Structures are given as structure tokens and as C-alpha cells.
Amino acid sequence: MYINGQWIESDKTFGVINPATGEEIGRVVDGNQSDAAAAIDAAHAAQKSWQATTAYERSAILYKAWQLMMAQHEALAELMTREQGKPLKASRNEVKYAADFLLWFAEEAKRIYGETIPSGRSDQRFIVQYQAVGVVAAVTPWNYPISMLTRKIGPALAAGCTVVLKPAESTPLCAIAVIKILEEAGVPAGVVNLVTALDPKPIGTEFCTNPKVRKLTFTGSTAVGKKLATDAAPYLKRVSMELGGHAPFIVYEDADPVHAAKGATLVKFLNTGQACISPNRIYVHKNIMGPFIETITARVNKMKAGNGMDAGIAIGPLVNDAAVAKAQNQVQDAVSKGAVVHTGGQRLVADGLDQGFFYAPTVLSGVTNDMLIYSEETFGPVAAIIPFDDDDDIIAMANDTHYGLAAYIYTQNLKKAMRTFEGLEFGIIGINDINPTSAAAPFGGMKSSGLGREGAREGLMEYLETKLGGFSI
């Protein structure tokens, strides 16, 4: 743990497991509620002086952190693959994406402009300034164990906030590596603090109920996000919630089914399906179903599962046994109700994969709305294909979920693209595009997918209070 600029050791530790091999790759301190309180005290004590630094000073530190992260790019990617399991190439992409947030917010720190507003009174002037919210408590997930940290810490520091971070219990080593970079970049003692813990609940309780925390930012499941937002509500803390998704991927009849299937394969199996923007319902017009299924199945058959450190691996392990069981259960349920398995459909155990948590990349067609996979987030490598034939119904079908994070549309028809874009109740929409994400673009969901946005200018505003001055002159 890292509290008030000190690395804290303890006899009480927990192990970190490589999900590809089941081996323990490290042990970290098992923190408790009083550690979280101490970290909050440190962040609170550092808040005033950090907030008083100039935007240029904060920007320089973030810029230095960006440089350090890029310099350690390969080592960080290898650590991520060992700890989280994604193929090395995907880890490299994530480190770059993570570093992008440091650079973007280093730049944006200098552009927290206020405004002047004309008054109806000739003796009055209005000015608006933005100032740091205060101490930020951040809870982050295991699926993107570096970029989800910089996406919160970058804007928080740029805004002049101090931070206490609790990373996911399965990926604390990546979090430690990020904090070391921030320390080396010159972040003063107390400004960023790290509490690692096997049981997140007591830390969450402290984050939600300690009045010194003014903002809670969370990325994870909808169930936990709702609980934390509820617990923080009596204290009227600001909350940002980046939660689950159930992305529709709509392929209209006029789209090129081969091109769309290639896109669907890339985005569905990204991070072995463990992404909140992963397509969970792939709606394909029935007249182009044949070539779509043929292409996606052929592509998936070429995907090799294994340890992400090995060359040519496209499918890494799932996070744990429960994740394998969930994918298995959804596939069995779908098949029992009439879905067809084109490839995959079972746990992978051959060639030593039984030591890790591997599920075969799977393509299912004939999925219907009575199947679990139609409404439950999969978070695994299962592509669920649903036929449709009426364009007038498809937007309502896609919106028929309590989630509202990402959606994808494939069409060559501009009018259809625009109408669907405007009709979908989702925060991030790719139109003939499978990667509508960037440090410069707002990321976040509607409905049960969350509150607030991360990245972009909006991601910075989440850490700022608006202050109005009315001057009588």
C-alpha cells in the first residue's frame, strides 16, 4: 500500500494469481478499513496544497508520468499479461491507451477555463471558475487494470484533486506499478494513495461514509455500482459510475456481411469478451445471415487460446472459475432453447489449459429473447447472433435492456445510420466502427450502465465544482 508518500508493508498479505497458469505471481498487503481511513486522512491533508499548485505544475507532473509509462511500456505490458491474462499484444495496446489519458489530461489541465456572463444589472459582473472537488475515492476493475486507473487519476490530478485508489483484488500489481510511476513523476506525498485489499467491502464502506471523501468514482459491475451510489447518497457525494453493458451490434441488410463479421469478431473477442463495451447481442438481417456466420466462424476457428505470453495467442483466460461457469451456463441455456453452436461451446482443458480459466471462443446463432444470454451480460467469449427482418423494430429491440453503454451499427445507408444513431439509448455508438474510444472522447453509459463520462473534457468536469462570483462594482 502507499499512504502519504510511504510504501507500507505488512504481515497480512494475499496472493495474486496468473489466470493462465493458476500460479501465484506475487503477494500484496491486505488492507482494512482503518488503512482506508488513514489514506483518506493523508489525501485530505494534502488537498489544499495540491489544489494551490498551478495548472502548469500539475500538467508537468502528468506529462512526466506519461513519459515514464511509455518508457516502461513493455515491462508494464508483460506484467499485465501475467496478472490479468490478456495476450501481450492487447496489453501493449492497453498500456498505450492508459498513457494517453496521462498525456491528454496533462494538456487539459491548462485549459480549465472559466467564463464571464453578462448581468442584467449594470453594477454587477458574473464570473465562473472551476475548482477541485476535493478528495476522490476511486475503485477500479481487473479487466483493464492500468487504463481504468489513469482514466480516473489523470483528470483528478489535473483538476487539483487528491486520490485514494482501491484497485481490484485480482490485479493489484498493475496498480502498484502505476503508483510507482506517479511517485517517480513527482506527485507529492498524500496526493495519490493506494489501498490494496482482498475484501473490498470495508474499503467501500469507508469510501462511501467518510465525509472527507467528496467524490466516488467507480468502474465495475452494475450491482456493486448501485450499492456504492446508494451508500454514498446520504452524504451527497458526487459519484461517477462506469458499469456493465449489453451492447447490441446491428448489421443491416445493405451492409457488407463479411466486413461486418470481421468487425464483430475483433470487438467481441477483445479481452476474451471481458469488456463492458463487448457486443452481447449481434443482430444480423436474415438475408445476409449465411456469409456473416461463415465469416465469423472461420475467423474464430483461427483464434488460438492460451497463455498470453506465448506468440500467436488471441484468446486469454477468463478471470476465474465463476466466469467460466457463467459462459458455460449461458451457452447451455441457449442450446437447450434451440440455439446452434457453430464453434466452441466448451471449457478448454487440453494442452495444460486446465490449469487456467479457459473457455473456447464460441459462435451461437438462432439466439432468441427467452435465452439468458439475450439479457444477461456475458463477459466471456461467446458471440450470440440473432436474426431480424424488420428494420422498423430493430431500434426498439436493441433498446430493450436496462443497460445503455455501447452499441454498434453496420450500414452503408446514411439515413439509416443517422436514424439508428439518434434512436439508440446508448452512450457510445460505433457506426461502421468497432473502436469508438479514445482519451479525447467521452466514454460512459445511459440507464443502468452508469452516471457521468470519463475521458475528454467531460471527464475532467467530473472532478470540478462550478463556482459563481457575483461582483457588485
* Residue 63: HSE in the Cβ half-sphere, 13 Å Cα cutoff: 11
Judged by CB under 6 A, the chain residues 172 through 201 that form the site for ligand ADP are: 200-201
Cα torsion angle, 414, 418, 419, 423, sign: positive
Spatial CB neighbours of 328, under 8 Å, sequence gap ≥ 6: 346, 347, 359
* For ligand ADP, the closer CB: 157 or 319: 319
d(CA 315, CA 325): 17
- Rule CB under 6 A: is residue 79 a binding residue for ligand ADP? no
* For ligand ADP, the closer CB: 201 or 467: 201
d(CA 76, CA 83): 10
| 225 three-state secondary structure | helix
* For ligand ADP, the closer CB: 220 or 459: 220
Phi-psi map region of 455: left, alpha, beta (phi>0 left; psi -120 to 50 alpha): left
Spatial CB neighbours of 48, under 8 Å, sequence gap ≥ 6: none
SS3 content of the chain, % helix, strand, coil (to 5): 45, 25, 35
* For ligand ADP, the closer CB: 228 or 464: 228
* For ligand ADP, the closer CB: 68 or 197: 197
d(CA 171, CA 98): 15
- Rule CB under 6 A: is residue 139 a binding residue for ligand ADP? yes
Size of the residue set binding ligand ADP (CB under 6 A) = 13
**Is the CB of residue 428 less than 8 Å from the CB of residue 245?**
no
> Minimal distance in Å, beta carbon 323 to ligand ADP?
9
> Minimal distance in Å, beta carbon 226 to ligand ADP?
10
Cβ-based burial of 113 (10 A; exposed 0-12, middle 13-18, buried ≥19): exposed
**Is the CB of residue 311 less than 8 Å from the CB of residue 89?**
no
> Minimal distance in Å, beta carbon 198 to ligand ADP?
9
Binding ligand ADP (rule: CB under 6 A), the pick from 88, 148, 179, 224 is 224
> Minimal distance in Å, beta carbon 391 to ligand ADP?
34
Binding ligand ADP (rule: CB under 6 A), the pick from 21, 72, 221, 375 is 221
> Which positions are annotated as active-site residues?
242, 276
* For ligand ADP, the closer CB: 257 or 452: 452
Residue 124 neighbours by CB distance under 10 Å: 13
Residue 295 neighbours by CB distance under 10 Å: 18
The CB-nearest residue to ligand ADP is: 204
> Minimal distance in Å, beta carbon 222 to ligand ADP?
8
* For ligand ADP, the closer CB: 228 or 439: 228
d(CA 27, CA 14): 5
> Minimal distance in Å, beta carbon 360 to ligand ADP?
21
Per-residue string for binding with ligand ADP, 142-171, x by CB under 6 A? Answer: --------------------------xx--
What is the chain's alpha carbon radius of gyration, rounded to the nearest angstrom?
Answer: 23
d(CA 31, CA 186): 25
The stretch near ligand ADP (CB under 6 A) out of 1-9, 100-108, 216-224, 391-399 is 216-224
Judged by CB under 6 A, the chain residues 368 through 407 that form the site for ligand ADP are: none
> Minimal distance in Å, beta carbon 199 to ligand ADP?
8
The stretch near ligand ADP (CB under 6 A) out of 138-146, 328-336, 354-362, 457-465 is 138-146
247: cell is: 451492447
> Minimal distance in Å, beta carbon 86 to ligand ADP?
14
**Which of the 8 DSSP states describes residue 21?**
T
- Rule CB under 6 A: is residue 204 a binding residue for ligand ADP? yes
Residue 43, CA distances (Å) to 187, 193, 390 in order? 12, 7, 55
Judged by CB under 6 A, the chain residues 448 through 467 that form the site for ligand ADP are: none
Contact positions vs ligand ADP (CB under 6 A): 139-141, 168-169, 200-201, 204, 220-221, 224, 227-228
